Amino acid sequence: MKTSVIVFPGSNCDRDAAVALEAATGHPPAMVWHGDAELPNSDLIVLPGGFSYGDYLRSGAMAAHSPVMREVVKRAKGGTPVLGICNGFQVLTEARLLPGVLMRNATLKFICKDVYLKVERSDSMFTHRYVLGEVVRFPVAHKDGSYFADEDTLDRLEGEGRVAFRYCEASGAVTEVGNPNGSSRNIAGIYNETGTVLGLMPHPERLADPALSGTDGAKMFASLVEALP
């Protein structure tokens, strides 16, 4: 399985993503510099977390316009799976590969902690190793993670089964208490229409190693390895 990690100026979870990918696939991913118009053939493209362009102006906005993103958009539209984590999710929305936007957290503060997520789909290439409705623990680390879309879009996302994860309490209850950032309808991650593009704010790559006090994130990479060639 060939994977690529896109590196923007200011990306800082690129190495973390590479480590998790290598652990899952057995091969190091190609690290692709944002300025390169060439994107190697990939079975999976990962947009990592970080502060591309300092998150200045709006998180992800400037990265969404870098040369390599034109190619990423093309590949994504051609069916290549794309995983956007945290800043990568922000880039995907700014590039309009996913609907909605990620706004400043309701607390207005950066928030770094483990949160609970409810797995809303277990039949996607990203999540089939999870059980439907399972509660998993992933870390979040962001200041702009409050998912916002208009009501119609939210209804459509729900109707089409495109909500990937929702923030919840340890018990699985999807409540305001379990929502760390004020996201609409507790949405933590969403798919595109074809289920081949996933954007999520929490960091699966940060809990993919037993030494890091949990491995709930590893199942996402394992799912991908199984689903992809």
Partner 1 sequence: MKARITITLKQGVLDPQGKAIEGALHALGFGSVGNVRQGKYIEVEVDESDPAKARAAVERMCDQLLANTIIENYAYELEAA
Partner 2 sequence: MNIVAKAARALKAPSRDIVAEHGLSPEEYRRLVDAIGREPSLTELGIFSVMWSEHCSYKSSRVWLKKLPTQGPQVIQGPGENAGVVDIGDGHAAVFKMESHNHPSYIEPYQGAATGVGGIMRDVFTMGARPIANMNALRFGAPDHPKTRHLVAGVVSGIGDYGNCMGVPTVGGETNFDPRYNDNILVNAMTVGLVDAKRIFRSAAKGVGLPVVYVGSKTGRDGIHGATMASAEFDEASEEKRPTVQVGDPFTEKLLLEACLELMATDTIVAIQDMGAAGLTSSSVEMADKGGVGIELELARVPTREEGMTAYEMMLSESQERMLMVLKPGVEVQAERVFKKWGLDFAVIGYTTDTGRLVVRHAGAVEADIPLAALAQAAPVYERPWTPKTPPAALDPHDVPAPNSLLDCLEIMLDSPHLASRRWIWEQYDHMVMADTVQRPGGDAAVVRVHGTQKGLAISCDVTPRYCAADPREGAKQAVAECWRNLTAAGADPLAITDCLNFGNPERPEIMGEFVGAIEGMAEACAALSFPVVSGNVSLYNETNGAAIPPTPAVGGVGLIPDIAQMATIALKRDGNLLLLLGAEHGQLGQSLYTQIMLERSHGAPPPVDLDTERRTGDLVRNLIREGAVSAVHDVSDGGLLVAIAEMALAGNQGVTLETAPDHLPAHALWFGEDQARYVVEAAPDKADAIHKAAALAEVPIRLLGRVGGDAIAITGETPLPLKTLRAVHEDWLPRFMAHG
Please give the structure tokens belonging to residue 125. 């290439």
Helix runs in the chain, H state only: 14-25, 67-77, 87-94, 151-159, 218-227
Sketch the per residue contact string, 95 through 134, with partner 1: x for CB under 8 A, - otherwise: -----xx-xxxx-x--------------------------
- State which of positions 188-227 bind partner 2 (CB under 8 A): 203, 205-206, 209, 211-213
Residue with tokens 């590196």: 7
Q: What is the closest distance, in whole angstroms, from the C-beta atom of residue 141 to partner 2 in the complex?
A: 4
- Which of these, 180, 23, 214, 204, lies nearest to 111 by C-alpha position? 180
The helix (run of H) or strand (run of E) holding residue 208 is: none
- Which of these, 153, 121, 127, 135, lies nearest to 223 by C-alpha position? 127
Binding part of the chain for partner 1, among 144-152, 171-179, 193-201, 219-227 by CB under 8 A, reads 144-152
Taking CB under 8 A as the criterion, the residue among 19, 30, 106, 227 binding partner 2 is: 19
- Per rule CB under 8 A, is residue 46 in the interface with partner 2? no
**How far is it, in rounded angstroms, from Cα 39 to Cα 134?**
35
* Residue 66 binding: pick among partner 2, partner 1, none (C-beta 5-8 Å cut-off by kind): partner 1
- State which of positions 71-110 bind partner 2 (CB under 8 A): 109-110
**Toward partner 1, which CB reaches closer, 70 or 137?**
70
CA atoms within 13 A on the CB side of 202: 31
- State which of positions 56-75 bind partner 2 (CB under 8 A): 56
- What are the residue numbers of the active site? 86, 203, 205
- Which of these, 220, 201, 216, lies nearest to 137 by C-alpha position? 216
Residue with tokens 């929490």: 202
- Per rule CB under 8 A, is residue 144 in the interface with partner 2? no
**How far is it, in rounded angstroms, from Cα 160 to Cα 143?**
28
Q: Point out which residues bind partner 1 (CB under 8 A).
A: 53-54, 56-58, 61-62, 65-67, 94, 100-101, 103-106, 108, 146, 148-150, 182
Q: Point out which residues bind partner 2 (CB under 8 A).
A: 9-13, 15-16, 19-20, 35, 49-51, 53-56, 109-113, 139, 141, 143, 203, 205-206, 209, 211-213
